[in-house]
């Protein structure tokens, strides 16, 4: 990892589909150099993968909620793993702070979110508290 790798990474984070030839042109280097560096970063795991940013509301997901979960310490791991299995829950983190588990949940509307939180997740044993924060706007 040097500055050149970092430059490549920044461009790829900005546009994950940018062609290697174009990156090379902007960085005034060769395409093969760029490609080999990217491959190396992929193999080393610096680059975990590529993804597509979605406008959730245009896709019909009107509600995205950052949702914290509190559990009993002994149920913590099993709850976290159970949450991962739900299709509606897009991200699951363990963290310090108010809630040991933080998630990102996509739902069509408030009704669906409520259904997910209070019905579907009701089957999980050990959840003590659910703290949803609905995202109003992504500024950055």
* Residue ranges in contact with DNA by CB under 7 A: 4, 19-22, 29-33, 35-37, 40
- Nearest distance, CB of residue 30 and a second copy, angstroms: 20
Among 24, 27, 130, 134, binds a second copy (CB under 8 A): 134
| 4 contacts 29 by C-beta, under 8 angstroms | yes
Name the binder of 78 from a second copy, DNA, none, CB < 5-8 A by kind.
none
Phi and psi for 41 in degrees, rounded to 5?
Answer: -65, -30
Phi and psi for 83 in degrees, rounded to 5?
Answer: -60, -35
Q: If we measure between CA atoms, which residue out of 102, 103, 119, 111 comes closest to residue 62?
A: 111
Rg over alpha carbons for the chain, rounded to the nearest Å, is 20
Name the binder of 80 from a second copy, DNA, none, CB < 5-8 A by kind.
a second copy
- Count of residues in contact with a second copy, rule CB under 8 A: 50
C-alpha 41/C-alpha 26 separation (Å) is: 19
Residue 24 in the binding site for a second copy (CB under 8 A):
no
Name the binder of 123 from a second copy, DNA, none, CB < 5-8 A by kind.
none
- Nearest distance, CB of residue 71 and DNA, angstroms: 43
Q: In sequence order, which residues have a C-beta less than 8 Å from that of residue 5 and are 6 or more positions away?
A: 37, 41, 46
What is the binding site for a second copy (CB under 8 A)? 1, 9, 12-17, 44-55, 58-60, 66, 80-81, 83-84, 89-99, 102, 131-140
């Amino acid at each position: 990892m040097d500055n050149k790798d970092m430059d490549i990474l920044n461009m790829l984070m900005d546009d994950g589909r940018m062609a290697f030839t174009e990156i090379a042109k902007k960085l005034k280097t060769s395409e093969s150099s760029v490609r080999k560096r990217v491959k190396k970063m992929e193999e080393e795991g610096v680059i975990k993968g590529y993804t597509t940013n979605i406008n959730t509301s245009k896709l019909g997901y009107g509600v995205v909620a950052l949702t914290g979960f509190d559990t009993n310490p002994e149920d913590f791991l099993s709850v976290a793993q159970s949450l991962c299995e739900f299709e509606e829950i897009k991200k699951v983190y363990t963290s310090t702070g108010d809630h040991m588990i933080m998630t990102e949940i996509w739902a069509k509307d408030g009704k669906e979110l409520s259904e997910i939180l209070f019905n579907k997740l009701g089957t999980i044993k050990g959840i003590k508290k659910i703290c949803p924060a609905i995202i109003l706007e992504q500024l950055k």
